[in-house]
Amino acid sequence: MVKKLLYTLLLIHSVNLHSQDIVKNKIDSYLSNDNQAEISVFIYDPISMDTIFAKDIFNNLIPASNVKLYTVAAALNILGDKNYLYTKVYSDDDILSDSIIN
């Protein structure tokens, strides 16, 4: 499913404005081929302030971050309390004392 989404985003990014209708139809048919996935897509162009593509945008879906909680809980349970997970954040923000990364 991730491959489909990446392919779709790359496809949209590489198209000219005059062919957006063709692309919208291709994306819609491409996404409708997967009957097992619940898909909600909203692609917005901030420059033209226009919606490029929208499909089932009002569907209530389970956020991916919530699903990841189960994976992390299982991993921590299997690894035990002697293992640590580290996270690194890279930023060119000069002021980190405000606890906000710009």
Which of the two residues, 94 and 6, has the higher pLDDT score? 94
Concatenating the DSSP letter of every residue in the chain gives -HHHHHHHHHHHHTS-GGGHHHHHHHHHHHHHT-SSS---EEEEETTTTEEEEEESTT-----HHHHHHHHHHHHHHHH-TT-----------S--TTS---
Q: Which of 4-13, 24-33, 38-47 has the lowest mean pLDDT?
A: 4-13
| pLDDT for the residue 13 | 61
Per-residue model confidence as pLDDT tens digits over 40-73: 888 888 788 888 888 888 988 877 777 788 888 8
Q: What is the pTM of this model?
A: 0.42
Q: Is the pLDDT of residue 98 over 70?
A: yes
Which of the two residues, 35 and 28, has the higher pLDDT score? 28
